[in-house]
């Protein structure tokens, strides 16, 4: 299997602090990889560097063989890297369906003129977009909440809605930042299964940041461990579980 994402020498300094320091890792095409590490280890910063939210201090990111280092976020998304956020970002006062529609529109191909003139192409595409949104909501188990206002959804379903929106942009690589945060064990278990299903059905690759060790170990084929901005280890779950440095720095940390 080839690598869809390659991160080399990735470094981000905020003033004197190296939040991410010379990090190298790969994400295999079609694989589910995990990014773990204690609070403040630099996990979210890595997502922000991959997606162009932050400019790198040094190092490179390549996606599908193309150098995407420091591209604008919308261009990175356009190439097929989409994400969810640690702090949920939704249109809180819009319905579930509208939230997904706005994301589907972002990847539609018609222009403003088509939509203003309501040309047949626009109407055809509108229909296709609505069908796509319905289909995604069905797969993500949100179809029966279609008309609910996003803000009123239980936390776990808001996280699912965010994943739906990320999928609506037709990613080849999906980045999930703590998708199970705030979920109970049942919801976490369901989410884990769902992420596997999404990977299989949409034939995409996943990189997930997660604190729930069960989720990471059960779901990921490959795990990258960060500590104080540096890569401590990476490998298969069993190797990570048995890695002394990882156990000391993270797993044995007491609060996991
Ligand atoms: N925009 C910023 N300006 C200054 N410092 C920042 C900025 N973003 C992140 N940092 C710092 O970089 C370090 C890494 O933060 P980051 O959010 O990447 O950690 P994390 O691994 O995602 O942690 P958590 O598990 O708490 O989400 C922290 O010390 C954080 O305070
Ligand atoms: Mg974070």
CA of 229 to the centre of ligand 2 (A): 12
pLDDT of residue 251: 58
DSSP string computed for 88-124 = ----TTSBHHHHHHHHHHHT----HHHHHTT-HHHHH
Contact 97, 137 (CB under 8 A): yes
CB 49 within 8 A of CB 10: yes
Residue 137 placed within a domain: yes
Q: Is 253's pLDDT higher than 70?
A: no
Please tell me the predicted confidence (pLDDT) of residue 106. 76
Assigned domain for 233 exists: yes
Identify the pLDDT of residue 112.
65
How confident is the model over 215-231, as pLDDT tens digits? 899 999 999 999 999 99
Q: What is the pLDDT of residues 100-122, one digit of tens each?
A: 999 988 766 666 666 677 777 77
Residue with tokens 């080849």: 172
End position of a domain, from candidates 121, 136, 169: 169
pLDDT single digits (tens) 83-102: 999 999 999 999 999 999 99
Radius of gyration of the chain (CA): 19
* pLDDT given at position 211: 83
Q: What is the pLDDT of residue 105?
A: 83
Domain that holds residue 59: 1-80+171-256
Q: Mean pLDDT across the stretch 128-139?
A: 94
pLDDT of residue 108: 67
Give the confidence band of 254 by pLDDT, cuts at 50, 70, 90. Answer: very low
Average pLDDT over residues 196-216: 92
* 53 shares its domain with 109: no
State the average pLDDT over residues 236-255. 78
Do 185 and 202 belong to one domain?
yes
| Ligand 2 ion: residues within 5 Å (CB) | 43-44, 86
Specify if 85 maps to a domain: no
Q: Kindly state whether residues 35 and 57 are assigned to the same domain.
A: yes
Q: Which atom of ligand 1 is nearest to the CA of 229?
A: 14
Distance CA(39)–CA(249), nearest Å, equals 11
Q: Determine the average pLDDT of the residues in 125-131.
A: 89
Give yes or no: residues 102 and 58 share one domain: no
Residue 13 lies in a domain: yes
Residue 40 alpha carbon to ligand 1 centre in Å = 5
The pLDDT of residue 255 is 46
CATH of the domain at 183: 3.40.50.300
Q: Are residues 163 and 184 in the same domain?
A: no
The answer to the question of residue 241 being in a domain is yes
Name the closest-CA residue to atom 27, ligand 1. Answer: 39
Ligand 1 atom 17 nearest Cα: 44
Shared-domain flag, residues 74 and 180: yes
What is the rounded CA–CA span in Å between residue 122 and residue 145?
Answer: 27
Confidence of residue 148 (pLDDT cuts 50, 70, 90): very high
The C-alpha angle 70, 221, 25, rounded to 5 degrees, equals 30
Residue 242 in this model has a pLDDT that exceeds 60:
yes
Tell me: do 121 and 144 sit in the same domain. yes
Domain count, the chain: 2
159 and 131 part of one domain: yes
CA 161/CA 141 separation, integer angstroms: 10
Express as a percent the part of the chain with pLDDT over 70: 93
Substitution site in 10, 35, 38, 45 for ligand 1 pocket (most atoms within 8 Å of beta carbon): 45
Residues 161 and 197 in one domain: no
Domain boundary residue among 149, 169, 189?
169
From the CA of 48, the nearest ligand is: 1
The residue with tokens 């191909």 is: 109
Q: How confident is the model at residue 50 (pLDDT cuts 50, 70, 90)?
A: very high
Let me know whether 65 and 184 are in one domain.
yes
Q: Provide the pairing of β-strand 222-227 with 32-36.
A: parallel
For residue 191, is it within any domain? yes
Domain match, 76 and 96 both:
no
Which pTM does this prediction carry?
Answer: 0.92
- Do the domain assignments include residue 239? yes
Give the pLDDT of residue 195: 95
Judged by its nearest atom, the ligand closest to the C-alpha of residue 35 is: 1
Contact residues of ligand 1, CB 6 A cut-off: 14, 17, 19, 37, 39-45, 86
The predicted model gives 130-139 an average pLDDT of: 95
Domain boundary among 169, 195, 212: 169
d(CA 225, CA 237): 11
Same domain, 9 and 136: no
């Amino acid at each position: 299997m080839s690598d869809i994402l390659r991160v080399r020498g990735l470094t981000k300094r905020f003033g004197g602090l190296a939040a991410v320091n010379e990090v190298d890792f790969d994400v295999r095409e079609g694989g589910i990889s995990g990014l773990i590490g204690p609070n403040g280890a630099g996990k979210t910063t890595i997502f922000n560097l991959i997606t162009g939210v932050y400019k790198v201090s040094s190092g490179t990111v390549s996606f599908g063989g193309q150098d995407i280092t420091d591209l604008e976020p919308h261009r990175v998304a356009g190439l097929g890297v989409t994400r969810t956020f640690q702090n949920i970002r939704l249109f809180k006062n819009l319905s579930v369906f509208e939230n997904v529609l706005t994301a589907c529109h972002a990847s539609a191909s018609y222009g403003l003129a088509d939509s203003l003139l309501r040309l047949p192409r626009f109407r055809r595409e509108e229909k296709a977009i609505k069908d796509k949104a319905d289909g995604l909501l069905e797969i993500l188990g949100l179809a029966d909440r279609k008309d609910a206002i996003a803000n009123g959804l239980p936390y776990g379903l808001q996280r699912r809605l965010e994943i739906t929106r990320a999928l609506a942009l037709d990613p080849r690589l999906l980045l999930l930042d703590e998708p199970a945060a705030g979920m109970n064990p049942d919801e976490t278990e369901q989410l884990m299964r769902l992420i596997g299903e999404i990977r299989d059905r949409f034939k995409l690759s996943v990189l997930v940041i997660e604190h729930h060790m069960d989720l990471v170990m059960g779901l990921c084929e490959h795990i990258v461990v960060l500590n104080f901005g540096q890569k401590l280890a990476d490998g298969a779950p069993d190797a990570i579980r048995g890695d002394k440095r990882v156990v000391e720095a993270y797993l044995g940390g007491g609060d996991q």
